[in-house]
C-alpha cells in the first residue's frame, strides 16, 4: 500500500475497535499492519486520537456530528494532495476530552488555546519525557543514546550497532561465525525516558520510562533470551532452526525477577515495575506461556488476555486500550485509582508525588497525550473538584 486514506478510517469498524480497545482480534490486526508499514504509524496514531475523541462524545451526538465538531477545532489543512492527515490543534493538544471522578464528568473543549489555564502549578513547567536511554556495552562502556550521532555508534562480536534516522537502536549481524563468548548489552531508560531497540533477530522492544533490557548481541541458535525490568512492549520475530527432524521454532524467553515468559512469534506487553503490586503480561497477538518463578505455576495466554502475578498467576480479560496506551503515546485511565495514575506520572515526568492513601483510592477516567506537559494532567484532575494539586520544585502534593 503506497497511500492510506486516513479520513476513511473513522468509518472502519475494525479501526474504531482498535482505537477503543474493544476487540483483541482488531487490535492485533492493526498492530501487525503498523508493524509491517511503520511509515504510516505517526499518521495513524494521530487519526486514532480523533477516534478516541469521537468515542467520548457518542453519548450526546452521532458519529457524523462528532467528526464535524472535532474538525472545526483543527487547524485548516489541505486534503487534496493526500498527504498525511494533519490534526492541527488536536495533534498538538491530543489531551483528554473528559475526566470522571466519583461520578462527576468534566468535559474539556479546547478551541483557540492549546491548553487550559494552569492553576497553582508552582514555579517551573514540567515537560514530558522523550527518547532518552543509556546503552551499556559488554566491556562496560556507557553510551548516551540521546547524545549519540546517527549512524554506527559501536561494533562488537561481529555486530554493528546503529542509531537510525528515527533515533531507534538497531543491531546488524555481519553474517560471520558466532563468537566464542556471548557478549551482552543493556539498554536502560531513566524516569522521563523511552526508547526503541531492534534486537539482533529483528525483534523490536519498546522501553517505557525507568526500564531496562539486557540481551546478547547475537542470539544462540536454539533459543533467544532477554532480561527486563520496568515496562517493555515486545514484537517478536518468528525464527526457525533446522534439526534432524526438520524445521523447529526457536523460542524467545523474557525473564523478570518474578516470572518467565516463553514466546514463539507474537506481540505483548510486560509491566514489571518493582513499585507496582503485580507483574502484568498482556497479549496482543500470538501466544505466550507465563511461568511464576516462585511456585512454578504456568498459564497460557490468548490474544486479549493478561496474566496478573501477585502471589499466584491469574488470567483475566485485558483492557487493551489502557494497557497499550503508553506505547501509543497516551495516558488512558479507565476507572483507575489515583495512586496508580500518579505512579505513571512520576515515572514519565520524573517528579516525586505525595498523596494521602484515602485520596489515592479515588478513581478517574480520561485520555491525555504523553506529549503534553504535566500541567495538562494537573488541570484535568483538579477540574473534578475532588482534589487539589500543588507542584513545587518537581514535587507534586495532592490534598483535598
The domain limits of the chain are: 6-94, 98-125+347-400, 130-322
Distance of alpha carbon 290 from alpha carbon 292, whole angstroms: 7
Compute the half-sphere exposure of residue 135: CA atoms within 13 Å on the CB side of its CA. 26
Q: pLDDT above 90 covers what percent of the chain? A: 54
- Read off the pLDDT of each residue in 155-164 and give the average, rounded to a whole number: 90
What are residue 31's phi and psi, to 5 degrees?
-65, -40
Contact partners, residue 382, CB within 8 Å, separation at least 6: 119, 388, 389
- Strand-pair partners of 366: 99, 333
Where do the DSSP E strands lie in 121-218?
130-131, 134-136, 142-144, 151-156, 159-163, 169-173, 184-188, 193-198, 204-207, 212-216
> Per-residue pLDDT for 118 more than 60?
no
What are residue 357's phi and psi, to 5 degrees?
-60, -45
Distance of alpha carbon 103 from alpha carbon 334, whole angstroms: 13
Q: Which of 69-73, 155-159, 161-165 has the highest mean pLDDT?
A: 161-165
* pLDDT score, position 182: 87
Distance of alpha carbon 336 from alpha carbon 280, whole angstroms: 15
- Read off the pLDDT of each residue in 224-253 and give the average, rounded to a whole number: 88
As given in the structure block, the three cell numbers for residue 101 are 471522578
Dihedral over Cα of 33, 39, 44, 49: its sign: positive
> Per-residue pLDDT for 353 more than 50?
yes
* pLDDT score, position 4: 67
Element (H, E) at 19: helix 13-20
Specify the higher pLDDT residue, 123 or 129.
Answer: 129
- Read off the pLDDT of each residue in 196-218 and give the average, rounded to a whole number: 96
Cα–Cα nearest to 318, from 298, 303, 330, 337: 303
Q: Which of the four pLDDT bands, split at 50, 70 and 90, describes residue 180?
A: low
Q: Write out pLDDT tens, residues 60-108.
A: 344 445 444 444 443 333 333 333 333 333 333 333 344 444 343 333 3
> Per-residue pLDDT for 383 more than 70?
yes
> Which of 27-31, 127-131, 203-207, 394-398 shows the lowest per-residue confidence on average (mean pLDDT)?
27-31
Cα–Cα nearest to 368, from 6, 76, 98, 57: 98
As given in the structure block, the three cell numbers for residue 305 are 488476555
As given in the structure block, the three cell numbers for residue 255 are 525473564
Q: pLDDT above 70 covers what percent of the chain? A: 74
Residue 100: C-alpha distances to residues 120, 305, 320, 324 (Å) = 21, 26, 20, 21
Q: Write out pLDDT tens, residues 321-334.
A: 999 999 999 999 99
Q: Which of 3-12, 195-204, 237-246 has the highest mean pLDDT?
A: 195-204
What are residue 168's phi and psi, to 5 degrees?
-75, 155
- Strand-pair partners of 229: 212
Distance of alpha carbon 159 from alpha carbon 199, whole angstroms: 11
Other CB atoms closer than 10 Å to residue 311's CB: what's the count? Answer: 10
Which CATH number is 130-322 given? 2.60.120.1440
As given in the structure block, the three cell numbers for residue 136 are 551499556
As given in the structure block, the three cell numbers for residue 60 are 450526546
What does DSSP say about strands 169-173 and 193-198: parallel, antiparallel, or unpaired?
parallel
Number of H helices, E strands in the chain: 9, 28
> Which of 221-235, 248-262, 336-350, 368-382 shows the lowest per-residue confidence on average (mean pLDDT)?
368-382
Distance of alpha carbon 301 from alpha carbon 28, whole angstroms: 14
Cα–Cα nearest to 141, from 151, 155, 131: 155
What does the radius of gyration of the chain's CA atoms come to, in whole angstroms? 22
CB 306 within 8 A of CB 290: no
Q: Which CATH number fits domain 98-125+347-400: 3.55.50, 2.40.160, 3.40.50, 1.10.357?
A: 3.55.50
Q: Which of the four pLDDT bands, split at 50, 70 and 90, describes residue 173?
A: confident
Distance of alpha carbon 271 from alpha carbon 279, whole angstroms: 6
Q: Average pLDDT over the chain, rounded to whole?
A: 80
Distance of alpha carbon 150 from alpha carbon 222, whole angstroms: 33
Contact partners, residue 240, CB within 8 Å, separation at least 6: 247, 248, 249, 250
Residue 170: C-alpha distances to residues 183, 196, 335, 343 (Å) = 16, 9, 38, 30
Q: Which of the four pLDDT bands, split at 50, 70 and 90, describes residue 50?
A: confident
Q: Which of the four pLDDT bands, split at 50, 70 and 90, describes residue 22?
A: low
Model pTM score: 0.72
- Burial class, 87, CB count within 10 angstroms (exposed 0-12 / middle 13-18 / buried 19+): buried
> Per-residue pLDDT for 57 more than 70?
no
* pLDDT score, position 210: 97
As given in the structure block, the three cell numbers for residue 366 are 480520561
Distance of alpha carbon 377 from alpha carbon 396, whole angstroms: 12
Amino acid at each position: 500500500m503506497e497511500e492510506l486514506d486516513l479520513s476513511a478510517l473513522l468509518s472502519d469498524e475494525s479501526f474504531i475497535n482498535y482505537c477503543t480497545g474493544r476487540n483483541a482480534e482488531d487490535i492485533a490486526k492493526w498492530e501487525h499492519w503498523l508493524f509491517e508499514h511503520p511509515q504510516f504509524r505517526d499518521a495513524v496514531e494521530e487519526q486514532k486520537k480523533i477516534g478516541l475523541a469521537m468515542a467520548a462524545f457518542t453519548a450526546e451526538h452521532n458519529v457524523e456530528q462528532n467528526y464535524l465538531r472535532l474538525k472545526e477545532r483543527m487547524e485548516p489543512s489541505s486534503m487534496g494532495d493526500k498527504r498525511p492527515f494533519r490534526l492541527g490543534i488536536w495533534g498538538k493538544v491530543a489531551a483528554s476530552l473528559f475526566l470522571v471522578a466519583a461520578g462527576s464528568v468534566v468535559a474539556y473543549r479546547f478551541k483557540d488555546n492549546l491548553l487550559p489555564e494552569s492553576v497553582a502549578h508552582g514555579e517551573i513547567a514540567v515537560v514530558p519525557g522523550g527518547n532518552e536511554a543509556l546503552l551499556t556495552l559488554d566491556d562496560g562502556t556507557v553510551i548516551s543514546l540521546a547524545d549519540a550521532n546517527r549512524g554506527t555508534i559501536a561494533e562488537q562480536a561481529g555486530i554493528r550497532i546503529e542509531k537510525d534516522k528515527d533515533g531507534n537502536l538497531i543491531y546488524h549481524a555481519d553474517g560471520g561465525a558466532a563468537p566464542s563468548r556471548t557478549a551482552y548489552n543493556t539498554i536502560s531508560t531513566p524516569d522521563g525516558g523511552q526508547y526503541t531497540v531492534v534486537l539482533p533477530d529483528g525483534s523490536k522492544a519498546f522501553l517505557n520510562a525507568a526500564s531496562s533490557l539486557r540481551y546478547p548481541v547475537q542470539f544462540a541458535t536454539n533459543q533467544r533470551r532477554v532480561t527486563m525490568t520496568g515496562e517493555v512492549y515486545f514484537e517478536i520475530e518468528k525464527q526457525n532452526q533446522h534439526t534432524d527432524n526438520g524445521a523447529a521454532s526457536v523460542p524467545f524467553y523474557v525473564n523478570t525477577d518474578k516470572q518467565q515468559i516463553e514466546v514463539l512469534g507474537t506481540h505483548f506487553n510486560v509491566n514489571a515495575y518493582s513499585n507496582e503490586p503485580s507483574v502484568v503480561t498482556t497479549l496482543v497477538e500470538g501466544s505466550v506461556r507465563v511461568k511464576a518463578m516462585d511456585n512454578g505455576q504456568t498459564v497460557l495466554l490468548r490474544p486479549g488476555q493478561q496474566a496478573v502475578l501477585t502471589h499466584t498467576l491469574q488470567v483475566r480479560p485485558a483492557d487493551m486500550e489502557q494497557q497499550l496506551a503508553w506505547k501509543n503515546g497516551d495516558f488512558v485511565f479507565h476507572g483507575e485509582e489515583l495512586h496508580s495514575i500518579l505512579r505513571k506520572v512520576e515515572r514519565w515526568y520524573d517528579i516525586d508525588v505525595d498523596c494521602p492513601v484515602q485520596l489515592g483510592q479515588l478513581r478517574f477516567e480520561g485520555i491525555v497525550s504523553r506529549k503534553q506537559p504535566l500541567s495538562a494532567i494537573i488541570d484535568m484532575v483538579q477540574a473534578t473538584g475532588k482534589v487539589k494539586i500543588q507542584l513545587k520544585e518537581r514535587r507534586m502534593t495532592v490534598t483535598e
